[in-house]
Amino acid sequence: MARIPLPDIIEPTRPPVAAVDGLRSDSWPAALLASLRPSQWTKNLIIFAGVLFGQRLTDISAVAAAAGAFVIFCLLSGVVYLINDVMDREADRRHPIKKARPIASGALPVSVALTAAGLIAAGALVSAFALRPEFGFVALLYVVLLGLYSGRLKHIVIIDVLTIAIGFVLRAVAGAVVIPVAVSVWLYLLTILLALFLALAKRRHELVLLADGATGHRRILQEYSPYLLDQMISVVTASTLVAYAVYTVSPETTAKFQTHWLGLTLPFPLYGIFRYLYLVHQKDGGGSPSDMLLTDRPLLICVALWAAVVAVIIYGPSQLDHWAR
């Protein structure tokens, strides 16, 4: 596997002063939109888990509330990206890929990014509290937690990936409280395990991609090694699959959905996780889970089929049990 030459990592790639000063104001909207990372919307799909597993998929008002929550969290995620890019702009200029980001390259001035972040956050949080106060508190907690991550928490070993994982749990909680509906604790357990899996795989990708210059870009990477990350990923992978298997066949789940068929969906997460590991280890993927989900057709088909099969089982158990008899 090719390694990036050390000089490319440690020498900052700074935008020419004249180029930054000469930016036209009409170029800022496009740069701002890019910095909000709308392509990362797939991370917020976990919000719909409350609708799916809360058996509210046929409730139009519940689906509409979840859709509103999804949009709000997409905006709040964009705010977090803006703050993170402002905090990381110097380090990003030493990264072979991130140096092209609008804030790091100078295409988006820091003042504009922070002003936009404040306005978007205020509008999104007001909308969140208007949608449902409990949902608003979860949204506020999400912004505060990820704001702390952008500042201090991302520099503390293990806490950094745990914070990212908790951010996904808060998304799942938000999807449940906005309806509202009671969701099994298994959903939150599975969410944090799967998010940890993705976060650790991303750390591994950064470490391998940047090779000897990794710590020059992100200090926390000096606390990790490919071997350590592989050990952590192995633990989380096994835990995720075991937790999913136990959840699908547990008496609580069987009683709630009135069906024994959910256990048959285990091959989908098995294939999905193994496919993701294949992409990480054999194709040097893992840098952007959202991009991999959208660009890797087998992975996309697997997730889509899993969601479809789960929906059929949950919302049509009587028909399946009738066929079984």
- Tell whether the model's pLDDT for residue 11 goes beyond 60: no
Q: How would DSSP label each residue in 249-303? A: HSHHHHHHHT-SGGGGGTHHHHHHHHHHHHHHHHS---S-HHHHHHH-HHHHHHH
Range in 5-19, 61-75, 157-171 with the lowest mean pLDDT: 5-19
pLDDT at 60 over 90: yes
At 145-190, the pLDDT tens digits run: 999 998 889 889 999 999 999 999 999 999 999 999 887 888 889 9
Per-residue confidence band for 295, with pLDDT thresholds at 50, 70 and 90? confident
User: pLDDT tens-digit profile of 197-245?
Assistant: 999 988 888 887 766 555 555 678 888 888 999 999 999 999 999 999 9
- 16 Cβ neighbours under 8 A, 6+ residues apart: none
Q: Quote the DSSP letter at residue 11.
A: S
Using the 8-state DSSP alphabet, how is residue 256 labeled? H
Query: Domain spans of the chain?
Result: 26-183
What's the whole-model pTM score?
0.82
Cα–Cα distance measured from residue 197 to residue 191, given in angstroms and rounded to the nearest whole number: 10
Tokens 């976060």, located at residue: 199
Whole-number pLDDT of residue 323 = 43
Look up tokens 């633990």; give the residue: 235
pLDDT at 5 exceeding the cut of 70: no
* pLDDT for residue 287: 66
**For 9-23, 47-61, 242-256, which range has the lowest pLDDT when averaged over its residues?**
9-23
Indicate whether 80 pLDDT > 90.
yes
Tokens, residue 151: 């500042």
b/e map 228-247, b = 16+ CB within 10 Å: ebbebbeebbebbbebbbeb
Confidence class of residue 101 from pLDDT cuts 50, 70 and 90? confident
Q: Provide the pLDDT for residue 210.
A: 65
Q: Which residue has the tokens 């999804």?
A: 70
**Residues 6 or more apart in contact with residue 311 via CB below 8 angstroms:** 52, 57
CA distance 87 to 95: 14
If you average pLDDT over each of 3-7, 34-38, 64-68, 296-300, which comes out highest? Answer: 64-68
Q: Which has the closest alpha carbon to 217: 3, 12, 2, 1?
A: 12
Q: Which residues contact 222 (CB under 8 A, 6 or more apart)?
A: 214, 215
Higher-confidence residue of 220 and 122: namely 122
Q: In this structure, which amino acid lies at residue 146?
A: L
Q: Looking at residue 119, what is its pLDDT?
A: 96
In 3D space, the residue among 138, 132, 167 whose CA is nearest the CA of residue 62 turns out to be 132
| pLDDT tens digits, 13-32 | 444 333 333 344 447 888 88
Region 81-110: what's the mean pLDDT? 85
In the chain, the percentage of residues whose pLDDT exceeds 90 is 51
- Region 52-77: mean pLDDT is 94
Q: Does 3 have pLDDT greater than 80?
A: no
**DSSP strand E in 166-212: where?**
none
Per-residue tokens: 13: 């790639």
CATH, domain 26-183, list 1.10.357.140, 2.40.37.10, 3.40.50.300, 1.20.58.1610: 1.10.357.140
Please check the confidence at residue 132 and state whether its pLDDT lies above 50.
yes
Question: Quick one: which of 161, 26, 145, 154 has its CA closest to 79?
Answer: 145
SS3 30: helix
In degrees and rounded to multiples of 5, residue 323 shows phi and psi of: -65, -35
Q: Do residues 101 and 92 make contact, with C-beta atoms less than 8 angstroms apart?
A: yes
Q: Which residues, 6 or more positions from 88, have their beta carbon under 8 angstroms from its beta carbon?
A: 98, 104, 150
Choice between 37 and 323, residue whose per-residue pLDDT is larger: 37
Q: Given this model, what pLDDT does residue 72 score?
A: 97
Q: What are phi and psi of 174, to 5 degrees?
A: -60, -40
How far apart are the C-alpha atoms of 280 and 205, rounded to whole Å? 7
Mean pLDDT on 38-48: 90
CB atoms near residue 22 (< 10 Å): 8
